[in-house]
Amino acid sequence: MNEQILITVEAALRRAGVLRPEATLLIALSGGADSVALLRTVSALGKRYGFSTRAAHVEHGLRGEASAEDARFCERLCAEMGVPFTLDRANLSGGMAAPGAEARAREVRYRLLLGRARECGADALLLAHHLDDQAETVLSHLVRGSGTRGLGGMREASRVNGVLLVRPLLKLSKADLLASLNGAPYRVDDSNAEPCCQRNRLRTGVMPLLRAENPRVVEHISQSAALLSMDDDCLQTQADVLLAHALIDEPPFLCVRKARLLAAPDAVAVRALRKFVQRGMAYLVAETSPAVTERVPAAEPAADCSCFSLLEERSLSTGDSLALLTLLHAPDGGSLNLPHGLCMQATARYLHLTRMEDGSPVAKTAVPPPVSLEGGIELVRLGGFSFRLSAFDPVKESAPDGINAVVLPNAVLSQTVLRTKDTDDHIHPFGAGGGKPLRRYLIDHKLDLAFRAHMPLLCRGNEVLWAVGVGASEGTRITDAPSTRITVEGDLPWTRETPREAAHHADQNKMKE
């Protein structure tokens, strides 16, 4: 066994935290030289450290008898080595020359491999990508148009849909791996030499020209990718912290506070926005793919951009990212349609994610039924909002602000309900000479459209006595009658600006002038 490869793979597994006696490592085995070298190396390390080695092969069915022979070779090899082996058949059609064949094969391969990894409780799924693959990946992302995330190439370790992916061979060249086999058999995929997909064209057409310019071009591209990865990790860490402070993810509300993002460097803000959009996409994916149930934490690193995952299918382009920044800085707000049915809407204080088709929430939630306040209840809830009721003493207590609390005579309280808005709702604003439709009242108060349909209202019939977090009606004026204070608990995203936000908006207005 080649000592250089043993040392390299051993170090990679240790960095990934899976070099443990109780670990189970699943190898994605194609039968090619790269994955065979990985299998032999990891199997040898498994005997040394006591961990369990398994292998999984996916037969795509795109190369006829050659695909079937790849599968038989892998099964024989694993039997000879005493490595547990599983085989999945994708049954794809159309051949390698069919449009999108490479993408379809990659998608189904990762889907099946990730499933096998979860099934056997693998601590990691090991992939045989090497230094030459890394250079091709970076070039592919450069041609497509990418930022530091894409130009950083493949990561040695990443997590996709709950499975840890490790690429222990990324620092080794194809030539190193071929030499390490020392004549051991492996399969050759003749389609790799055909110009049927971009990666093949880069490998057979572009890379030879670059090697003619610099024989060490593969190493140098990979070094540049490593430096860009470090830069991106640093910026993404800052972006994760920023998003965690700016995010409101309380279905049906999904938005971020603009003031925090505007105070950050654009390089950080755009990463926070990309993660925010990914969060919205996760809700949509969960609807169509029940197996994907995890929401994206605000501070979890993004999945590896080089491999398939349901979220990465929906990743944003560089143009999308730049458009997000433009929307963030737009002085008059606006909206931006995003891939896969999302829309981002900008208001004075927030960026909202909604569904493009009808502006409805990304996270579907049932409309909560009306809640009666009759009967001396101390605490009531409407959806995700809590309200505390207590007897009001006008001598000992100050009058409420009409925003976060109101007072109602008990005789009126018994006729009221907490609910969301209705088409015919109207309000007589406190201190105003007359009434108006609730819709006009909320527009006058510049309440974001995304908040209006789901905010709590205290109503008597279609008379709104309190638009929670916005204002109260004349019907809440304090009298001598026995009364009850009603207070909403917690922060409401549509309440008045914080001092910092107000100062920021004042600065923005001065700049406009």
User: Which of 222, 60, 96, 254 is CA-nearest to residue 151?
Assistant: 222
158-196 pLDDT, tens digit each: 998 889 999 999 999 999 999 999 989 999 887 777 777
**375 in the same domain as 345:** no
Mean pLDDT, range 298-321, rounded to an integer: 54
Confidence of residue 96 (pLDDT cuts 50, 70, 90): low
Residue 498 inside a domain? The answer is no
| pLDDT-derived band at 300, boundaries 50, 70, 90 | very low
* 184 shares a domain with 259: no
Query: Between β-strands 163-166 and 124-126, what pairing exists: parallel, antiparallel or unpaired?
Result: parallel
Q: What is the DSSP string of 415-466?
A: T-EEE---TT-EE-BTT-SS-EEHHHHHHHTT--HHHHTTS-EEEETTEEEE
Residue 297 and residue 271 share a domain: yes
Return the pLDDT at 436. Answer: 96
Q: What is the DSSP letter of 358?
A: T
Rounded Cα distance between 150 and 426, Å, is 52
* 35 domain-assigned: yes
pLDDT score, position 293:
40
Residue 393 belongs to domain spanning: 371-489
Counted domains in the chain: 3
246 in the same domain as 199: no
Residue 497 lies in a domain: no
Q: Is residue 231 part of a domain?
A: no
Between 293 and 497, name the one with better pLDDT.
Answer: 497
- In the block, tokens 């830069």 appear at 231
What pLDDT digit, counting tens, does each position of 407-452 carry?
A: 999 999 999 999 999 999 999 999 999 999 999 999 999 999 999 9
Q: Do 72 and 196 fall within a single domain?
A: yes
CATH number of the domain to which 22 belongs? 3.40.50.620
Mean pLDDT score, 2-28: 95
| Domain co-membership, 256 together with 345 | yes
* 379, 346: one domain: no
Mean pLDDT of 136-146: 91
Q: Are residues 397 and 279 in the same domain?
A: no
Average pLDDT over all residues of the chain: 88
Which pLDDT does position 296 carry in this prediction?
Answer: 47
Does 180 map to a domain?
A: yes
Of the three residues 355, 379, 409, the one that is the final residue of a domain is 355
Quick check: is 158 in a domain?
no
Lowest mean pLDDT among 96-105, 334-343, 398-407: 96-105
Q: Are residues 263 and 337 in the same domain?
A: yes
Domain shared by 432 and 331, yes or no? no
pLDDT over 90 (residue 121): yes
Q: Are residues 328 and 260 in the same domain?
A: yes
This prediction has a pTM of 0.80
Within a domain: 312: yes
Q: Which CATH number belongs to the domain containing residue 289 in this structure?
A: 3.30.465.60
Is the pLDDT reported for residue 312 higher than 90? no
* Domain assignment of residue 51, yes or no: yes
The pLDDT > 70 percentage for the chain reads 89
More confident position, 285 or 304: 285
264 plus 408 within the same structural domain: no
**Cα–Cα–Cα angle for 266, 271, 277, rounded to 5 degrees:** 125
Note the pLDDT tens digit of each residue in 457-476: 999 999 999 999 999 999 99
